[in-house]
Amino acid sequence: MKRKVVVLGAGHVGSHVALSLAYENIADEVVLVDKVPGKADAQALDIYDAMSFVPHEVLVRGGDYKDVADADVVVCAIGMARKPGQDRVDMLDDSIVMCKELIASLSPYEIPGVFISITNPCDVIADYLRKHLHLDKDRCFGTGTLLDTARLRRVLSRNAGVARLSIQCFVMGEHGESSMIPTSLIKIGAQDYDEFDLSDDKILEEVRRGGWVIVDGKKCTEFGIGRACCEMVDAVLRDEHRILPASAVLDGEYGEKDVQIGIPCVIGAAGIEKRIVAPLTDDEMARFHHSCDVVRTNIAIAAKK
């Protein structure tokens, strides 16, 4: 069966999502859509030229909003790049304006596939789009703390001197300043995190500051989040039942309701197949509840805009 992915937004992030999907042969057809006339076609043609140097064929093209009607996965990558010194929540007003335009453009079409949102602030926008596009909570989720988890794996690898693929870890909570690291769940090879002489505060600071450093240096993030999103798309299209952190709606998990936030999830063809309730310590649970409160507050603010 042909695997079709539509990427909404052909900017830095959307174009790298499309490029990774094509290069890694994750999709058979990748469609870029953008409100700026000609931009999606230009990005698609540029990527399609690059496909001359890989041993497989993937159709990459510009399209329009009606393409979502038969897409297996729709990726929302609209939005403005985060400015130096700007928190993700600072982007909320602009993101809501763009989301309203997007919702109006998508309203004539049914979206039968899985919908993955990248747009910041990630958890709040994923919730906003799910509600206004009337999508099922298992089929509409955000990349959430997946990129944060990739950064954590990088930081742990460097500090512990162990290959990234030997590290199992998750960042949970908001994709933002209230994110938390459940160190009790970290496994470095066969060893617990506590067996390494690492500073919790230093590790968390490095992970949180990763995005700031990139934005300060190059005015945007693109490669990491683009590849992170592709991992989610791959898990859906290959029905991998893979455990990845995602911004999911909670309905009693961890004692939380009415919030969409980053937790480990089993992801497959149906989207989120299971929300994993990991055994957190009392301190970790308290920090997770705080993060939920932060996101819930911002969801309420978004609802009034």
Question: Which two three-digit tokens encode residue 43?
Answer: 């990005």
Question: Which two three-digit tokens encode residue 305?
Answer: 């805009």
Spatial separation of the C-alpha atoms in residues 174 and 247, rounded to whole Å: 8
Question: 297 — phi, psi (to 5°)?
Answer: -60, -45
Of the residues 12, 56, 175, 289, only one is catalytic, namely: 175
Asked about 175 being catalytic, the answer comes back as yes
Taking a C-beta distance cutoff of 8 angstroms, is the pair 129, 9 a contact? no
Q: 207's torsion region: left (phi>0), alpha (psi -120 to 50) or beta? A: alpha
Q: Which residues are catalytic?
A: 175
